[in-house]
Amino acid sequence: MSDTPSTDPETWEKSAPEDRETEGPLDESEANPVRPYVDLGGVKILPREGLHLRLEVEEETQRVVAVGLDYANSTLQVQPFAAPRSSGLWHEIREQIAEQVERQGGRTSEREGVFGPELVAEIPVAAPQGAPGETRVARFVGVDGPRWFLRGVIAGDAAIKPDAAALVEDLFRSIVVVRGSSPMPPRDLIPLRMPAAPSSGPDTFSTL
């Protein structure tokens, strides 16, 4: 896979681990149908001990816009988007994230991670007047799948500590994306929703 993608959006290659089809993140057609997934619409999450799920809701529209996963002293925010069948979105979106972080006064660096290219961002945190400025570290990861793109934002221990990173990376791998058959423009958020019935397993739910 080329590290220098074409500037033509129609020819951007997909960015994904070579073993994505077997190790994840999976498409619904690739997932084991008997596993006890929590169905959140555009994504399915596999419950595990110590995992806390949050649905992030847009205040004006009450639309679920992201899934937050608290795990291993870390947070993982995920969003699934519609994407072209033959080309990827991550190369372009990565550039846009870097520009946005820089506009906020932060900085980013790109590195090769377990999912392919990822961004490590140092983002300024608002501090009381006169207090020294602080930053928080976040990792932006992305995987191009069949007609979908899954973005993850990793913060907390998993952004800086290898042991926690491995746990949260495995969590990201376990996600199943449900694209559906309805036509959708590329970059549109695949609809997310509350689960039909909260699981009695180890996970818990809240909304923001």
Model confidence over 43-84: pLDDT tens digits? 999 999 999 999 999 999 999 999 999 999 999 999 999 999
Give the CA-trace dihedral at 16, 19, 25, 29, to 10 degrees: 110
Three-state secondary-structure class, residue 204: strand
Give the residues across from 68 on adjacent strands: 54, 77
How long, in residues, is the chain?
Answer: 208
Residue 208's pLDDT band (cuts 50, 70, 90): low
**pLDDT of amino acid 1:** 38
CA 36, CA 201: separation in Å to the nearest integer?
Answer: 9
pLDDT, the chain, mean? 89
Question: What's the rounded Cα separation, in Å, for the pair 153 and 161?
Answer: 15
Residue 60: is it exposed, middle or buried by C-beta count within 10 angstroms (0-12/13-18/19+)?
Answer: exposed
pLDDT at 126: 77
- The pLDDT of 119-148, averaged and rounded, is 88
pTM: 0.88
Share of the chain above pLDDT 90, in %: 77
Q: What is the pLDDT of residue 125?
A: 85
